[in-house]
Amino acid sequence: MDGPTTIPLPPTAEPADDVTPRARRLLRPAWWSFALLPFSFVGATLLGNSILTAMGHDVDSETNPTWEQAIVAGIPAVIVMVIPALMAIWFGRRAIGAGHPKGHEPSIAGLVVGAALVAMNVLALLVRLADEIIN
């Protein structure tokens, strides 16, 4: 061999010159919205517990709230929890519309995490309802 060999790199998916500044600006809030999900989870937990306490249920006790209490406290809590996921989807879709090819990443991530959070809460409610029916 007469010299060092170079390994060709694959072409990048997006040239930096093709993305407009507006598209870049729209992608940032999509990821920031997604990053707010852990904080919205904490806020939703505090909100749900506050509503249950206001309805007379002791959240520190080992008894489960009734399904009516769970629905009344759960719906606002789930709404608070999924707002950042919905914002990530919205801003990601706007970034795609503005021409940023990576706008689908926060949109899909927000959709998957938001759907998982809603599914977990609905499943917990169904288990609680089944437990009340059986007992």
For residue 26, count other CB atoms closer than 10 A to its CB: 22
Report the alpha-carbon distance of residue 111 to residue 59 in Å, rounded. Answer: 30
Q: What is the pLDDT of residue 60?
A: 84
SS3 content of the chain, % helix, strand, coil (to 5): 75, 0, 25
Q: What is the pLDDT of residue 11?
A: 61
Report the alpha-carbon distance of residue 117 to residue 66 in Å, rounded. Answer: 21
Domain ranges in the chain are 21-134
Residue 52 has which token pair? 């249950």
pTM higher than 0.85: no
pLDDT in tens, 25-69: 999 999 999 999 999 999 999 999 999 999 998 888 888 788 888
